[in-house]
Amino acid sequence: CSHTVTVLFILTCALVYVTLLEETPQDTAYNTKRGIVASILVFLCFGVTQAKDGPFTRPHPAYWRFWLCVTVVYELFLIFILFQTVHDGRQFMKYIDPKLGVPLPERDYGGNCLIYDPGNTSDPFHNIWDKMDGFVPAHFLGWYIKTLMIRDWWMCMIISVMFEFLEYSLEHQLPNFSECWWDHWIMDVLVCNGLGIYCGMKTLGWLSMKPYQWQGLWNIPTYKGKIKRIAFQFTPYSWVKFEWKPASNLRRWLAVLGIIFMFLLAELNTFYLKFVLWMPPEHYLVLLRLVFFVNVGGVAMREIYDFMDDPKFHKKLGQQAWLVAAITVTEFLIVVKYDPNTIMLPIPFFIMQCWILGILLILTWTLWRFFIR
């Protein structure tokens, strides 16, 4: 492991050194970008070799240290964007991709909600095919990975259903949230999200039942065994079953509510960020953000569970969990600053009544369960 980290360090230093030897063109913007990239590479190299290890060790501790440093870099980038003016922040995105910085219309998924349209004789099911875009497999894959993070069927279903209620509540702010009823509850909750959660729970069952062997690669006599050992390097070193038990005490109940709230806020940030920063949904930055949360979210959830389950041993919350929470809040602050008019659009009265009723029910149950009973 130490040799691998050393080689990575040498390669990064060599890359920076070769870059410095290149003939520097007299372009301020280009040189600034090169300097920022080189600085980030040096910081990532330092973090990969010197940062504190997290709870995961497979495929290699350096891999998770790398994502910890990427988390710091992303948070610093968000802070920089937060302190720009709205115009400068949007135009700054052109330094990343010249195609950005241009306002884009939001796609409305509502409109004609007929499953079978008799008026269209050539393709009466055209409304269904119009909804079948790249977000359908993304929904499935996203909820499959979220299930591996949360490791609880009830929490996943609650977050899935709650987000659909949030889309109903906020469709007056973002046209992208306007969908047909069957798109909300059949395609999203039952098909994409439900199938992703089901496959995720099956995978969790396999991970909890499979034998875990820690025999070294060179101690395995057969080539088949060596190949199998290499493949298992990308599976967990050991397995911990998450038992959240939200009703066991007030501390765990509030923690579970906080986890659900942060998950929903991070989901909303995905839509609002691309809206206020003028990024099309299919842009690679949107995909990179999702890949980022896939890698750091699992570590954060494990750190949260360890802190809740054994506070005597884990006396403080893990570093990745704190950074993910800070990133989620910073993204929300960017949304509030860049488009306060959209955020402050009044919620329809009947929707406000539903949310007040739901909050009162949660408060009433909390008082009854942990104080009165």
Q: Is the pLDDT of residue 108 over 70?
A: no
What pLDDT, on the 0 to 100 scale, is given for residue 134? 58
Q: Is the pLDDT of residue 222 over 90?
A: no
* Higher pLDDT, residue 63 or 113: 63
What pLDDT, on the 0 to 100 scale, is given for residue 71? 95
**pLDDT-based confidence at 172, cuts 50/70/90?**
confident
What pLDDT, on the 0 to 100 scale, is given for residue 363? 95
Q: 82, 92 in Cβ contact below 8 A?
A: no
Sign of CA dihedral 104, 105, 106, 107: negative
* Higher pLDDT, residue 4 or 66: 66
How far apart are the C-alpha atoms of 347 and 168, rounded to whole Å?
A: 11
What pLDDT, on the 0 to 100 scale, is given for residue 226? 60
Query: Could you report how far apart the first and last alpha carbons of the chain are, in Å?
Result: 54
Orientation of helix 86-96 relative to helix 319-338, angle to 10°: 120
Environment class of 52 (CB within 10 Å of its CB; exposed 0-12, middle 13-18, buried 19+): exposed
**pLDDT-based confidence at 57, cuts 50/70/90?**
confident
How far apart are the C-alpha atoms of 276 and 369, rounded to whole Å?
A: 41
Number of neighbours of residue 358 by Cβ within 10 angstroms: 12
How far apart are the C-alpha atoms of 73 and 361, rounded to whole Å?
A: 40
What pLDDT, on the 0 to 100 scale, is given for residue 43? 86
Q: Is the pLDDT of residue 286 over 70?
A: yes
Weakest-pLDDT range from 146-160, 221-235, 262-276, 349-363: 221-235
Percent of the chain past pLDDT 90, that is, above it, reads 37
Give the pLDDT confidence of 73-95 residue by residue, as tens digits.
Answer: 999 999 999 999 999 999 998 88
How far apart are the C-alpha atoms of 38 and 42, rounded to whole Å?
A: 6
Q: What is the DSSP letter of 176?
A: G
What pLDDT, on the 0 to 100 scale, is given for residue 114? 57
Q: Residue 328 to residues 78, 170, 304: CA-CA distances in angstroms?
A: 10, 19, 15
What pLDDT, on the 0 to 100 scale, is given for residue 257? 94
Give pTM, 2 decimals.
0.84
Weakest-pLDDT range from 145-149, 155-159, 182-186: 182-186
Q: Is the pLDDT of residue 148 over 80?
A: yes
What pLDDT, on the 0 to 100 scale, is given for residue 188? 80
Q: Is the pLDDT of residue 348 over 90?
A: no
**pLDDT-based confidence at 12, cuts 50/70/90?**
low
Beta bridge partner(s), residue 179? 109
Instruction: Work out the average pLDDT over 30-41.
Output: 80
Environment class of 54 (CB within 10 Å of its CB; exposed 0-12, middle 13-18, buried 19+): buried
**pLDDT-based confidence at 346, cuts 50/70/90?**
confident
CA atoms lying within 13 Å on the CB side of residue 283: 23
Strand, coil or helix: 109:
strand
What value does the mean pLDDT of the chain take? 82
Weakest-pLDDT range from 58-72, 214-228, 272-286, 294-308: 214-228
Tokens 């704190």 belong to which residue? Answer: 322
Say how many residues make up the chain.
373
What pLDDT, on the 0 to 100 scale, is given for residue 212? 54
Instruction: Work out the average pLDDT over 201-216.
Output: 73
Q: Residue 19 to residues 22, 32, 258, 283: CA-CA distances in angstroms?
A: 5, 13, 45, 28
